[in-house]
Structure formats: structure tokens, C-alpha cells
Structure 1
């Protein structure tokens, strides 16, 4: 039992360290100088995905302590919410966003045409919060409750911390200018392609969820 919980705690510790150290301005600046902006984004994404997978598998291997029973209706919550979460993530990754993480070519960001950032300043953190909150409903065992509550809290707290850090890095005046975004929907070819890709990713997650995680989400 200690071994199961021990791995779970270790996985979470590595997750939080891997997300706090590389994003510190001095560390990130050195990494970007060595890897380039795109290289840093790619490396950070791969690291984040790998550590996230470890945390999820560690939760599955932790001792089972049920807090509430499972019911069929609960599966419909993540099935519905994850469609939105995936869409937000796919629309945001690799797009200019100097106000949060996960952006690329941030010098091209235009507050007059901010795209999704005009509606959601921290799209990847919003997607993470949606993922955590929706998956909490059908997973009533203690390890998964801890997992999804901490991830949801991490996403919500991260928004405030990133706002504070970017305001300091960019300067209060520039940060306020960039935050003064227009909220509008401007159809573009890139946006349409990303929406189609989001549908493909969502269907892929549905089909891979069972073989990879051992849980089949479709009722």
C-alpha cells in the first residue's frame, strides 16, 4: 500500500517541479536561448505530457478507496465537456499568446485580433480545468479525487500566478494593453482546419482511452 501511494506522491512532486522550474523567467530565458521559442514549446509540451501520463497511471495503481459509487450517467459529463476542452486546446496551441504559456510567435499577437485569447486568456489552463472537473464526476475513488481536484486547483491557481508573473515581466502598462483584447469571431482557414483537427483529436481520444487507460468512456 505504501508503494502505491509512494509512486503517486512522487509523480505529483515531479509534475509540479516540471511545471514550476522551466517557466521561471530566468530558466525559461536560458532554455529559449538554447532551444529557440518553438523548441522550448515542443520540449515543454513533451515533458508535460509524459509527466501527466505518469501521474494518471500512478493514480490508477494507487490503493482503491471509494468515496462515491459510479453510475452510467456520470460518463456523459466528461464525454460532453471534453469536446469543448479539446477544441479550446487545439485552437490555442502554437498560436500567439504572450499572456499565458503554450503560445508561439508571441511578437505577432494583436489585441485587436486576438482570436481565442480575446475570450479565454489562459486557454490551455481552462482546458486542463475542464478536463479535471469533468473527470472528477465518474471517478469517485480517493486517488482520482485527489488527482482531479489538485489538477483543477493547479489550473485555476496557475491563471493568477501567470497573470502576476507576466504583469511583472511585461510591465503593468504593456500587460494592460495586451489584456485589452477585442472579443470577436473572425473565421479563417487556419481556424477551420483547427476545428476539424479538434474533432479528429476528440475521436482519437475516445478510441484510445480504453486501450491506453483501461477505461472505456462510451456508455
Structure 2
């Protein structure tokens, strides 16, 4: 659990630095992006190693059939991650699409994982996303972006979502957590 908590703390600190201490982030200058990126990669490695090595301590039993809800929420989550990049019809309508994607990702995983390490990892990432949205909202009013690509952006995002979801499912199966098999439910 130590590695998991350290990774989660590093993830939060690296992401929130710009919001909590803009002066510190500004002092890092352009090279600060590389430093932050390196810290984020390290945080992911620590979280993965910590989660995989954590003792399984059950906290609650996930509801039967929750795997189907998880998969649906994950499709929505992955789609939201792509909204800003593909600039479809939702782009000017949803503030913080990636952070909302992280919240939905968190909820989806908490539906099917009732152990302590999952509560720390998925609950922690969800909490980080909510705190990030609150800090960004507090910093100023949202200036809605221009419409972007419209339906073409949505089509690009949908295609990318399906491909990425397929890759995510393959990685989960490779790690021993099959997304579409009965043992997952």
C-alpha cells in the first residue's frame, strides 16, 4: 500500500502544482513540463506496482451484474477523454471533459472492485478529479471554446474510443482481469 499511496500522492501533487502554487510552477519554466511529465510517469509506475502488490482486503461485495455497468461507464469515460482532442459537438458544451472522464472511470472501477487497494486507487483518482475541477472553477469563469469540428470530431472520437477501449480490454485480460468474461462480474 505504501507504493500505491506514494504514487497517488505524487500524481495529485504533480497535477495540482499549477493550481495550488502557480509561482512555483512558473519558476520551473519550460523545462518544468518535462519534470512534471517525468513525475507523472513515476506516479503511474508506483500506483501500478503498489496496486498489484497490495494485499487483498475486502471492504464490500460488488453488486451482481455490475460488470455490464462498468463496461458502459468505461465507454463513456474513454469518449469524454477524447472530447477535448477531437473537438466534436460536446467540446463547447462540457467543461472539464477529461476530468469528468476520470470521475466516471473511478466510479466504474469502484462498482466492480470492493477491496481496500481499489478504494484507495480509484477513489483517490476520482477525488483528485473533483478537487481539480473545483480549483479550476474557483480560478475563473469558463470561456466556452469555439465549436470545433462538430460531428466530424464526434466521429473521430467514437472511432478512437472503440479502438482504445479494445486495447484497454486486452491489457486487462493480459493482467488477469478480463473485461468481458463471467469471472469479472
TM-score (norm 2): 0.79
Please list every run of 5 or more consecutive structure 1 residues that lacks an aligned counterpart in the other structure. 96-113, 168-174
Which structure would you say has the larger RCO, counting Cα contacts within 8 Å and 6 or more residues apart? Answer: 2
Aligned equivalent of 1:195: 158
Q: Is the 1:91–1:195 Cα contact (8 Å) retained in structure 2? A: no
* Residues 131-181 of structure 1: CA deviation (Å, up to 9, x unaligned): 00010011011111122222212211211111112x1xxxxxxx36x15x7
Within a 5 Å distance, the mapping from 1:1-219 to structure 2 comes to 5-22=1-18, 24-30=21-27, 34=30, 40=33, 47-48=39-40, 50-70=42-62, 73-93=65-85, 115-165=89-139, 167=140, 175=141, 178-179=143-144, 186-188=150-152, 190-211=153-174, 213-219=175-181
Separation in 1, partners of 2:100, 2:164:
17
Separation in 1, partners of 2:116, 2:149:
41
- Counterpart secondary structure, 1:118: coil
Distance apart, 1:215 and its partner CA: 1.2
Separation in 2, partners of 1:141, 1:131:
16
Taking a change above 3 Å as real, the CA distance of residues 29 and 195 of structure 1, as seen in their structure-2 partners, is farther
Q: Is the 1:118–1:183 Cα contact (8 Å) retained in structure 2? A: yes
Taking a change above 3 Å as real, the CA distance of residues 86 and 47 of structure 1, as seen in their structure-2 partners, is farther
Separation in 2, partners of 1:134, 1:56:
18
- Counterpart secondary structure, 2:80: helix
Name the larger-Rg structure.
1
Please list every run of 5 or more consecutive structure 2 residues that lacks an aligned counterpart in the other structure. none
Separation in 1, partners of 2:108, 2:85:
21
Separation in 1, partners of 2:148, 2:47:
37
Taking a change above 3 Å as real, the CA distance of residues 43 and 90 of structure 1, as seen in their structure-2 partners, is farther
Q: Number of residue pairs matched?
A: 180
What CA RMSD, in Å, does the superposition of the two structures yield over aligned residues?
3.1
